Amino acid sequence: MRQSQYFLPSLKENPTEAQIVSHRFMLRAGMIRQSASGIYSFLPLGLKVMQKIADIVRVEQNRTGAMEVVLPTLQPAELWQESGRYEDYGKEMLRIRDRHDRPLLYGPTAEELITDIVRNAVKSYRSLPLNLYQIHWKFRDELRPRFGVMRGREFLMKDGYGFDLTEAAARETYHRVFVSYLRILAEMGLRPIPMRAETGPIGGNLSHEFIILADTGESQVYCHKNYLSRLTPGAVDYQDAAAMAGLVADWTRDYAAADEAHKPAECGVAAADLIAARGIEVGHIFYFGTKYSAPMKAVVSNEQGHSVPLHMGSYGIGVSRLVAGIIEASHDENGIIWPVTVAPFAAHVINMKSGDALCDGLAGDMYQQLSAAGIDVLYDDRDERAGVKMAESDLIGIPLRIVIGPKSAAVAEVEISARAEPQKKISLSSAASVDFITKALATAKAISGKICRV
């Protein structure tokens, strides 16, 4: 993509409304624009990152055997009256009436809607287990929307819903999703810490939040320092229930709790081993048994032919929140440092002197060759000062940078550096650099998920 043609409305000044680094950089890098409090448009650069995140979620969910659906954003109020949550949800729920004066709501979550589908379609235990998820917009009329897409009112969530015959089977599903969340978040370069949590309006009594540590996090969290050095699970067999249970046991052995669930007297961790920090909740999973299936009569016949309510859990990841969360975890004072797996482009070719025949020739050639090698390249071909180009490149944080200036062009070489380590540079001929960059990106992808940031 040529930057001269790309819609990247960057800002030079720090927007005054942005209190945290991710909000500031997302606005400045032209990733998002606010349209109303807590409601944002995603522009091309922001959308690319969000789609990469969604794809990582999708691939790993499909591996667990979950299936993707899309449910409507508008839901009929009757379903929520059936479960008893219509009144309970309070002012966070956006209530709407259609032209026939029928009450609708913009879904803040979808336990009722999916339960309705499953109760009508599934009659026998033979159709279980079933795990359905979507990656779709939610609306919560938050009291204090803030920090950009971190706490929005409209936001993109991956919400999954598990249906099982028994509590034991539902726990197996819970374990499988638990492990998949560790792998999904590690793939994005994050170090997730599963923490015991309160269940709030979703319900049930078994729940974990997946927290990443960041100074700007909204939650106060407590965990054993062991979590800072854990390696996320490598290749896993999701069908191996014992292995999944073992991994969950391993990951919950050490103490970790979000503020509301933290009981200092019971935590039993020596002060020197306990970390008290700020964290961002990027995922939250729940097992709530028959909380929805019983009142909504979502039943199946079991092996004995008896009608029994389904055992359910729900599983959420904040997809739009993660865009900001990753920035909080990975940046420097000049801008974002995207992990390769979620970066909007893999390489940034910068022509330091557009209009100079040699520079234009070599930079254009690099752009062509890298694109032909299947690398997603942003090519800064704009008629801008070199300093402006470099500052913007730092801001938008593409992992690899290929700089072409008059000096390097004169000897037919390009200068390659990584956004994460700008002081290390190597010069290569343009032919050798395509091979080098392809290998560097492949290596970075291969180790993501194993090397995590704190």
Residues at the contact surface with ligand P5A, assessed by CB under 6 A: 109, 140, 142, 151-152, 155, 157, 159, 202, 281-284, 286, 314-316, 318, 320-321
- Identity of the residue, 316 or 399, whose beta carbon is nearer to ligand P5A in the bound complex: 316
CA geometry: angle at 397 spanning 396 and 398, to 5°?
A: 105
Q: Are 288 and 313 in contact (CB under 8 A)?
A: yes
CB 450 within 8 A of CB 234: yes
Closest contact distance (angstroms) between CB of 327 and ligand P5A is 14
Place of tokens 């191996």: 240
| Least distance (Å) between residue 152 CB and ligand P5A | 4
Distance CA 173, CA 171 (A): 5
Two tokens at 152?
């929005």
Q: How far is the CB of 202 from ligand P5A (least distance, A)?
A: 5
- Among residues 140 and 176, whose Cβ is nearest to ligand P5A? 140
Q: Select 217 or 449, whichever has its Cβ closest to ligand P5A.
A: 217
Shortest distance, position 106 Cβ to ligand P5A, whole Å: 13
CB of 135 to ligand P5A, least distance (A): 11
Nearer to ligand P5A, 125 or 251 (CB): 251
Q: Tokens standing for 398?
A: 């593409």
- H helix intervals, 9-76: 21-28, 44-64
Nearer to ligand P5A, 197 or 404 (CB): 197
What is the smallest separation between the CB atom of 284 and ligand P5A, expressed in angstroms? Answer: 3
Residue among 46 and 318 whose Cβ is closer to ligand P5A: 318
Q: Rounded to whole angstroms, how far apart are CA atoms 328 and 273?
A: 25
Output the six-digit token pair for 61.
Answer: 């969910």
Three-state DSSP at 42 gives: strand
* Min dist. Cβ of residue 281 to ligand P5A (A): 5
Select 112 or 413, whichever has its Cβ closest to ligand P5A.
112
Cβ distance to ligand P5A smaller for residue 22 or 408:
22
Q: Tell me how far apart the alpha carbons of residues 351 and 344 are, in angstroms, rounded to a whole number.
A: 19
276 CB neighbour count, 10 Å cutoff: 11
* Joined tokens for residue 402: 């290929």
Q: Which is nearer to ligand P5A, 113 or 402 (CB)?
A: 113
Q: How many CA atoms lie within 13 A of 249 on its CB side?
A: 7
How near is the Cβ of 227 to ligand P5A at its closest, in Å?
A: 18
Of 120, 70, 84, nearest to 203 by C-alpha is 84
- Nearest approach in angstroms of CB 188 to ligand P5A is 13
Nearest to ligand P5A by Cβ — which residue?
318
The Cα-based distances of 179 to 40, 314, 382 in angstroms read 31, 15, 45
Exposure letters 149-174 (e unless 16+ CB within 10 A, then b): bbbbbbbbbbbbbbbbbeeebbbbbb
Angle between helices 44-64 and 319-329 (to 10 degrees): 110
Nearest distance in Å: CB 162, ligand P5A? 10
SS (H, E, C) 176-201: HHHHHHHHHHHHCCCCCEEEECCCHH
Q: Which is nearer to ligand P5A, 199 or 301 (CB)?
A: 199
